[in-house]
Amino acid sequence: MSDPCDRDLKIGLILPTWTGSLDGRTPRWTDIVGLARLAEDVGFDSLWLPDMLRYRFGEGIDPLACWETWSLVAGLATSTHRLEIGTLVLVGAYRSPALLAEMAETVDEISGGRLILGIGAGVNQDEHEAYGFSWDHRYDRLEETLTIIHGLFRDGHVDFEGRYVSARDCELGLRGPRSPGPPILLGGKGPRIQRLAARFAGLWNVGFFGDPSDLDTVAGLRCEVDDACAEVGRAASSLERTAALMVHLGGPPAMVGPYDWSAGALRGSVAELASSLRAFAAVGISHLQVGLVPSTRASIESFARVLELLDRDAGTGMPQPSS
């Protein structure tokens, strides 16, 4: 078992929760919790779940379905003991912001302070419309949602009437183990999202990267977020930077519907993968969310060797010889 206590780069596992995502088959709860417990055993730092209700790749293609994220988060809070549990990311329009703040405090209590509340504006218009959620002005809606959640976490009370959402004389009557509530992670790129992250978030997620040549892009986006923090008078170092990526551990392309999940993924030996992950730390990323391809117990056990190498090399900045 890898011991992540002294790791200078946190590594999280993106759990498969959608159609065909468990090496071609759809995971059941017993599969998901089994993978989560194995990830805890081998030394991952965190678990991450996407927030999809359905995802359609194009006309005439059956959409992917996904188990409801918040229910899974609550279940994992009782089924694991050490791992942080994050959403990558909840769609802001899908849940009442004041109720979501209550839910987050409750799950943070259940988990003993391990929740990371990742939230964003959403990317799938078809999904919004199918479930009756508004797609228009989604960044304005997200800003109002964050205003309510952040205010409730910080002060325990908010009185806000927005154009799209409201919370009038609303209080968080019961608080979880952390003040001021669980950290908020804001996912996305662009000046609007960066400014919202600087105002409301404890973590920012740059999105999915796999090709090491993208690291210059990651570094540039980090600098843009630094500037956004300066605009609001916030120390840039107080906003943790995270990124997500896929790691292909061998075998044929991993097809889920028409999409190849292994496309653009990191590949290589154990030492090469560890070196590639450390390169993200060199450009200011402190927490990586990793999707393993194929998504199986065997992949988690194989990736454990990368975690062990990261731990062995913690603090030295030097990769080990090729495995």
pLDDT band at residue 242 under the 50/70/90 scheme: very high
Of 43-52, 169-178, 312-321, the range with the lowest mean pLDDT is 312-321
Q: What is the pLDDT of residues 22-35, one digit of tens each?
A: 988 999 999 999 99
| 318: in domain | no
Tokens 């590639």 locate to 276
Region 272-298: mean pLDDT is 94
| 320: in domain | no
Q: What is the pLDDT of residues 96-139, one digit of tens each?
A: 999 999 999 999 999 999 999 999 999 889 899 989 999 999 99
Per the model's pLDDT, the better-predicted residue between 7 and 81 turns out to be 81
Burial class (CB in 10 A: 0-12, 13-18, 19+), 182: buried
Confidence check: pLDDT of 84 > 70: yes
Region 287-293: mean pLDDT is 95
Residue 165 to residue 160: CA distance in whole angstroms:
8
Terminal CA-CA length for the chain: 18
Half-sphere exposure of 219 (CA within 13 A, CB side): 10
For the four alpha carbons of 184, 26, 82 and 46, in that order, the dihedral sign comes to negative
Confidence check: pLDDT of 271 > 60: yes
Contact 45, 82 (CB under 8 A): no
| 241: in domain | yes
Burial class (CB in 10 A: 0-12, 13-18, 19+), 111: buried
Residue 180: its pLDDT value, please? 95
Tokens 């990124």 locate to 243
Amino acid letter for position 126:
D
Residue 258: its pLDDT value, please? 66
| 253: in domain | yes
Mean pLDDT (the chain) is 90
Q: Token pair for residue 87?
A: 């959403």
Region 69-87: mean pLDDT is 98
Residue 107: its pLDDT value, please? 98
For the chain, what is the domain count? 1
Residue 18 to residue 257: CA distance in whole angstroms:
11
Confidence check: pLDDT of 255 > 80: no
| 199: in domain | yes
Residue 185 to residue 34: CA distance in whole angstroms:
26
Q: What is the pLDDT of residues 169-225, one digit of tens each?
A: 999 999 999 999 999 999 888 899 999 999 999 999 988 766 656 788 888 899 999
Neighbours of 213 (CB within 10 A): 8
pLDDT band at residue 323 under the 50/70/90 scheme: very low
Kindly state the DSSP code that residue 229 receives in the 8-state scheme.
Answer: H
Residue-range definition of the domain harbouring residue 117: 4-312
pTM of the entire structure?
Answer: 0.93
Tokens 């997620």 locate to 205
Residue 261: its pLDDT value, please? 72
Contact 247, 290 (CB under 8 A): yes
| 178: in domain | yes
| 32: in domain | yes
Rounded-to-5 percentages of helix, strand, coil across the chain: 40, 20, 35
Residue 179: its pLDDT value, please? 92
Residue 182 to residue 200: CA distance in whole angstroms:
12
Neighbours of 93 (CB within 10 A): 19
Region 143-165: mean pLDDT is 98
Q: How long, in residues, is the chain?
A: 323
Strand partners, 255: 260
Domain of residue 217, CATH code: 3.20.20.30
| 323: in domain | no
